[in-house]
Amino acid sequence: MRLIKTLDEIKGIKKANQIIAKIYEDIIPQYLKPGITTKEIDKIIDDYIRSCGARPACIGVPGPYGAFPAATCISVNEAVVHGVPNDRILQNGDIVSLDIVTELNGFYGDAAKTFAIGQIDEESKKLLEITEKSREIGIAQAVVGNRLGDIGHAIQQFVEKNGFSVVRDFAGHGVGLALHEDPMVPNYGRAGRGLKIENGMVLAIEPMVNVGTYKIAMLNDGWTIVTKDGKRSAHFEHSIAIVDGKPVILSELD
Ligand code: MF3
Ligand code: CO
């Protein structure tokens, strides 16, 4: 897959991402209340994506034990990523990470966000704040003149300085003409290492941050990734393009 996209392609990739931005800003927050199941959340998102003429592109992604069955990865509390929507009822105090992929006219959008259900404890509030901020700190490093390692290094430094850990086993990635493209964009690493950042790259920057250990395990549904120590985890992801030397966030609502 080509690492460098044209401006027209970036426009198309942005359109796919804007559907996700709209979901996170306007469509789903009103439903994220105690009492809803993760399956119900997925249905609302699936319907909305299709109403935009797009395809919910998480559906059918191959995994080690079969295809992902839903439009949205929904990961609650100690779940890190790839949670499978089910009949679990969200409770006051839960945190829930939504991760959505759309395909529109052959272009892919990918973005994730962790939401609070009702009133959450102080530690969880800090977790959400630090994870979201770490994403912005990573994005700020995505400039021409830097290398991929500068992104991961900045994210890791900030997260660990705040007492949390970054997941090592999953990373950001190139995106746009497919869901997962090269290059891999780890959320940890050494400054000044890795591929040079260039105009036309489109990257998903997606720190997964844990309260406790960075180590993870997989549930026997073959998808849901949880923290090894059972402590909470958050996930914030944007798709960005490098244009005129600087990052442009494609998955932020216009
Ligand atoms: N946004 C996720 C990622 O970047 C994609 C989830 S793939 C699925 O890896 F199969 F779990 F849906
Ligand atoms: Co992604």
Ligand 1 pocket, mutate which of 19, 55, 58 (most atoms under 8 A from CB): 58
Ligand 1 pocket, mutate which of 42, 81, 181 (most atoms under 8 A from CB): 81
Q: In which band, very low, low, confident or very high, does the pLDDT at 152 lie, cut at 50, 70 and 90?
A: very high
Tell me the per-residue pLDDT of 54-95, one tens digit each, with 9 for 90 and over: 999 999 999 999 999 999 999 999 999 999 999 999 999 999
How confident is the model at residue 54, as a pLDDT? Answer: 99
Establish how many alpha carbons lie within 13 A of residue 73's alpha carbon, considering only the half-sphere containing its beta carbon: 32
Q: Report whether pLDDT(1) > 90.
A: no
Residue whose CA is at the smallest distance from ligand 1 atom 2: 99
Which is the closest atom of ligand 1 to the Cα of 67?
Answer: 10
How confident is the model at residue 84, as a pLDDT? Answer: 98
Summarize the confidence of residues 30-35 as an average pLDDT. 98
| Single-letter residue type at 212 | G
Summarize the confidence of residues 100-126 as an average pLDDT. 98
Q: What's the 190 CA to ligand 1 centre distance in angstroms?
A: 25
- The predicted model scores a pTM of 0.98
Q: Report whether pLDDT(22) > 90.
A: yes
**Which uninterrupted H or E stretch holds 67?**
strand 66-67
Which is the closest atom of ligand 1 to the Cα of 99?
Answer: 1
Q: Which domains, and CATH codes, for the chain?
A: 7-249 (3.90.230.10)
